[in-house]
Structure 1
């Protein structure tokens, strides 16, 4: 095995075992190294897709972008797909996670960064506009469907399920060069990018181009406004888009009467593996969306403590790091390595390959989705009460932490 392959294997193994993001696992394995680049474009990684693109294009550290955008969020939806006889759990951890454009608008507005947002229902017009911007040297934030973009090598049944923002920064030789938080370019054929951007009608081929940031961004003001937004949002009564979503979920995990209760939905023991794996992928940074974000939020609070000269924010940071650990333990309870080790390893391998090589290895992706399908068809008995107890404890801890944060800001 070559040195490069050995390194990749070590990074993947760490990601599978710890649930860490590629960037974190790579840093722990390699230590600090220089920033890689492609024709002058520097790759700086990142955790969450939305916060990472804004950070990369404005120079504001990602933890502070998270705070400026309204901080963390909460969301729980259990989807049942009769067509594929499967169930998937959507867990969301970013403020206003269900409204990408609203999040972008308020985040860039608070940071004082000018931008243009182009939307159109026409694929050709959208492709032409992006080509013009890239040819003029202006990077674009676009929102492609993950299945059609290709490099994740997702199965056909996930066609049209949506995607996340990435930066298109160059086009050459019929390819668009994409930055998706990795250490090198992802090359996407222009026709594939066009199809991916147009696949989800509600996205309207969204394209953001950021202008020159102010010479001195008022990060402190943006952080204060964002933190107030955060506590207001998470103090609401919504049990779909605010902290009560965790309480609702903890109850549904053991509710034998409710049609949406997990004992009812997964009464025959099948299809539950997919839902459990959705928990692990959603909570842990090894997942596509960057995990539960409580660690990134804590980093932001630590930075804000110095920026705003408020030591109490550092105390809140400590609490949210503890809560991040609670999320990790809950994910481990739902998807123990002893039972799902190979699937976890393959999930890490796919993520690592995308971020280091520009695309998942076909054999890894095929094995991953084959094993997931087999696991979903296998009847298994799950102690939902153990997961419910941890989710309930998280709800209590986050409610208390947000109440304390409200007093500070």
Structure 2
């Protein structure tokens, strides 16, 4: 075993101890606790509270907090959609709790006053040449299903996902993806994951002061709406929160949660998804509200208390969702085990991570009915969080 490998294993054990200690102290899930620990860890640890803002913090180095970069990107938002597909047994639900739909990293760089260039090319040769000639860290949009340490099958198609490139070692790309050390990936595999567009963000120098006010104005505008200027705006911002609460409470209509997800297996899916969207997927813990409160505090702006309180409520929604049936709690344990493997990263963990994914996908078969009135209780919490956020926005 090399010195580097021994050092990495030592870091993994230390990180796990810190995460377990935080879990015992706060009652958080492993995923949430790990994100908080990594947010205060040395930069070599790679991760943070939210994937995109952590990548950008690592790329820019000292002088930038993750909270400031997340806030400059637009911080928080809310998008709620339900999609129905014939090939699925139940509708799929998604919530995006961070600012949306503007591209997150370019928005942060623009409002931070940092030069950057977003380029695409359909030529593999040109993409490789640009990657080799890039100086410093660049950020590339790849297909997450083709990163071996994620252990994904890709059965639902490509998943656009930004990663940092910390350099090339011959024909090996060093990928920053929230693991303890940059993940080595053969150049050919990276180019295959990079996709047809080969999108790359090249980060330059700071040319001006951060434009906090523009970023906050965008956040406020997208929470109060309109966002897209079409019929889908009902799904965004405070309107989207009202729609979510209304559909949770509806016990008779076809769009009500008790009708849309009427079987235990379907309930397992939607409650698991609700938890993940508020704590893990395209968000920081607490639906990004705590991270945004930290941004407002750093910027000297009001609304901190309200957004911190709203974040605690969104975390309560997530906790009640994952605690609604025993098999959901088993799912969270498997997520914990999967996350521990992914900390080390690399192709070596791919088979184990994929096996855990297969176990998770079969859990719905053992789902049991949730308690009566759960969705109404969740709707009450959603309304409580929205009212706090509306108060905060009124101050901004």
The TM-score bracket by the shorter chain reads 0.7 to 0.9
Q: Does 1:108 align with 2:109?
A: yes
Q: 1: CA distance between counterparts of 2:17 and 2:331?
A: 16
Structure-2 residue corresponding to 1:68: 72
Q: 1:12 to 1:70 in 2, by over 3 A?
A: closer
The 5 A counterparts of 1:378-393 are: 378=366, 380-383=368-371, 385-393=373-381
Q: Does 1:320 align with 2:307?
A: yes
Q: Does 1:218 align with 2:218?
A: no
Q: Shift of the alpha carbon at 1:356?
A: 4.0
The 5 A counterparts of 1:109-124 are: 109-124=110-125
Aligned residues: 373
Q: Deviations over 1:332-384 (max 9, x none)?
A: 11111871333212212323332344468346524432333222234532347
Q: 1:372 to 1:317 in 2, by over 3 A?
A: same
Q: Does 1:299 align with 2:294?
A: yes
Q: 2: CA distance between counterparts of 1:123 and 1:84?
A: 35
Does the 8 Å contact 1:326/1:390 carry over to 2? Answer: no
Q: Shift of the alpha carbon at 1:405?
A: 3.2
The 5 A counterparts of 1:201-280 are: 204-214=197-207, 217-219=208-210, 222-236=211-225, 238-280=233-275
Q: 1: CA distance between counterparts of 2:282 and 2:76?
A: 17
Q: Shift of the alpha carbon at 1:248?
A: 1.0
Does the 8 Å contact 2:148/2:350 carry over to 1? Answer: no
Q: Secondary structure at the match of 1:283?
A: helix
Q: 1:360 to 1:298 in 2, by over 3 A?
A: farther
Does the 8 Å contact 1:354/1:360 carry over to 2? Answer: no
Q: Shift of the alpha carbon at 1:61?
A: 1.2
Does the 8 Å contact 1:75/1:92 carry over to 2? Answer: yes
The 5 A counterparts of 1:1-400 are: 7=14, 10=17, 13=20, 18-19=28-29, 20-25=32-37, 35=42, 37=44, 43=45, 45-58=47-60, 59-85=63-89, 87-96=91-100, 98-100=101-103, 103-133=104-134, 137-160=135-158, 162-198=159-195, 204-214=197-207, 217-219=208-210, 222-236=211-225, 238-285=233-280, 289-291=283-285, 292-305=287-300, 313=302, 316-336=303-323, 339=326, 340-358=328-346, 361-362=349-350, 364-378=352-366, 380-383=368-371, 385-400=373-388
Q: Deviations over 1:58-86 (max 9, x none)?
A: 34211111222222110112234443545
Q: Secondary structure at the match of 1:167?
A: strand
Does the 8 Å contact 1:118/1:206 carry over to 2? Answer: yes
**Unaligned regions of 5+ residues in structure 2, if any?**
1-8, 227-232
RMSD of aligned alpha carbons: 3.0
Q: 2: CA distance between counterparts of 1:259 and 1:90?
A: 18
Q: 2: CA distance between counterparts of 1:4 and 1:49?
A: 20
Does the 8 Å contact 2:275/2:318 carry over to 1? Answer: yes
Q: Shift of the alpha carbon at 1:145?
A: 1.4
Does the 8 Å contact 1:49/1:164 carry over to 2? Answer: no
Q: Secondary structure at the match of 2:142?
A: coil
Q: 2: CA distance between counterparts of 1:62 and 1:370?
A: 33
Q: 1:121 to 1:324 in 2, by over 3 A?
A: same
Q: Shift of the alpha carbon at 1:168?
A: 0.9
Q: Secondary structure at the match of 2:201?
A: strand
Q: Secondary structure at the match of 2:97?
A: strand
Q: 2: CA distance between counterparts of 1:366 and 1:116?
A: 35
Q: 1: CA distance between counterparts of 2:142 and 2:23?
A: 25
Q: 1:185 to 1:3 in 2, by over 3 A?
A: closer
Q: 1: CA distance between counterparts of 2:215 and 2:43?
A: 32
Q: Shift of the alpha carbon at 1:254?
A: 3.8
Q: 1: CA distance between counterparts of 2:392 and 2:284?
A: 26
Does the 8 Å contact 1:176/1:189 carry over to 2? Answer: yes
Q: 2: CA distance between counterparts of 1:123 and 1:261?
A: 47
Structure-2 residue corresponding to 1:405: 393
Q: Shift of the alpha carbon at 1:228?
A: 1.6
Q: 1:127 to 1:350 in 2, by over 3 A?
A: farther
Q: Secondary structure at the match of 1:93?
A: strand
